[in-house]
């Protein structure tokens, strides 16, 4: 009796060890499958999942996942192709619009020099305003497609954030003055340097200053820290938290700025992130604060 019990215990031990071994292998293969699936989803690759194990259930699961991956890959390629074609079309249309717009603005300059009635002068002013708005939209569309395609923000070099910000403020002086804005600027005494694209950085600062001029209620506070964080803060009573959260969306505008193209902050975000920075906006107690960090 004791011999039979010992044999049974031995058999149960062998079975338990066998099951434990199979469970270990199964868990290992499932972890490998999960890691492989995560890697395929995070990278743009056509490689499918492979499993060295012979477990039929896992191999069926891997086969089903491969079917879904192939569907996802085809959809991704269609999206990328369509997105590239759309950007190329927008860039082409924007480029083609530049020539007639330049001619229109040139003839407007000549017409404004001529003697004209009060009504004609008023009509010309409206045409000038609309033509300038269309020119800004065309330029923003062209700049956005370049930024989205990665054709801006590539030439990196040591840049002083202090100097770049001062240069952008000087360039925006007229626009800010027309809005009655005298910026309060705080910067460290020593240069804060980063490896960035100077042209892209100036474009980011220019777009942020244009945004401040558009939404500000007459004030603007700009702060640069030694950690490379820049904030643009101004009173914006016409905005709401929901609108502020969408300011970086493509083509999004608010009623306070009906003539805006809705691309300035989108371009700023694209270029900032392409240079390894972070950018975002928050709205609190009637103040809009745009914060970026390199």
Burial class of residue 82 in the structure, from the number of CB atoms within 10 Å of its CB (0-12 exposed, 13-18 middle, 19+ buried): exposed
- Spatial CB neighbours of 90, under 8 Å, sequence gap ≥ 6: 141, 142, 144, 145
pTM over 0.85: no
DSSP structure class, residue 190: S
Q: Is 51 left (phi over 0), alpha (psi -120 to 50) or beta?
A: beta
For tokens 């950085």, name the residue: 201
The string of pLDDT tens digits covering residues 63-104 is: 888 888 888 888 887 777 766 666 666 666 766 777 788 888
CA distance 290 to 165: 15
**Which H or E element spans position 149?**
none
- By CB atoms closer than 10 A (0-12, 13-18, 19+), residue 41 is exposed
Report pLDDT for 222: 94
Closest CA to 72 of 42, 51, 52, 50: 42
What are residue 194's phi and psi, to 5 degrees? -145, 160
Question: In the predicted model, what is the mean pLDDT of residues 218-241?
Answer: 89
Give the CA angle between residues 37, 38, 42 to the nearest 5°: 120
**pLDDT on residue 227:** 92
Chain-centre distance for alpha carbon 181: 28
Q: pLDDT of 43-65, one tens digit each?
A: 777 777 777 777 787 778 888 88
Tell me: domain 157-293, CATH 1.10.3720.10, correct? no
């Amino acid at each position: 009796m004791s011999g039979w019990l010992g044999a049974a215990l031995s058999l149960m031990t062998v079975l338990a060890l066998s099951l434990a071994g199979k469970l270990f292998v199964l868990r290992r293969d499932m972890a490998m499958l999960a890691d492989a699936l995560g890697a395929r989803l995070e990278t743009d690759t056509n490689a499918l999942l492979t499993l060295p194990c012979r477990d039929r259930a896992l191999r069926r699961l891997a086969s089903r996942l491969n079917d879904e991956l192939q569907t996802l890959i085809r959809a991704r390629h269609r999206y990328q192709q369509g997105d590239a074609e759309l950007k190329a079309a927008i860039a082409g249309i924007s480029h083609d619009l530049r020539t007639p717009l330049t001619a229109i603005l040139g003839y407007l300059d000549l017409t404004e020099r001529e003697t004209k009635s009060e009504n004609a002068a008023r009509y010309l002013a409206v045409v000038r305003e609309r033509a300038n708005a269309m020119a800004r939209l065309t330029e923003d569309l062209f700049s956005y497609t370049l930024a989205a395609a990665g054709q801006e923000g590539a030439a990196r070099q040591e840049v002083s954030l202090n100097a770049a910000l001062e240069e952008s403020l000087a360039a925006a002086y007229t626009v800010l003055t027309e809005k009655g804005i005298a910026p309060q600027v705080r910067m460290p005494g020593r240069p804060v340097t980063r490896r960035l694209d100077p042209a892209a950085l100036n474009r980011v600062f220019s777009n942020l200053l244009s945004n401040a001029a558009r939404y500000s209620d007459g004030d603007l506070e700009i702060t640069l820290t030694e950690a490379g964080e820049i904030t643009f803060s101004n009173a914006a009573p016409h905005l709401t938290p929901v609108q502020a959260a969408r300011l970086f969306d493509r083509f999004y505008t608010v009623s306070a700025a009906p003539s805006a193209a809705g691309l300035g902050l989108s371009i700023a975000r694209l270029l900032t992130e392409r240079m390894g920075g972070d950018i975002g906006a928050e709205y609190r107690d009637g103040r809009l604060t745009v914060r970026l960090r390199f």
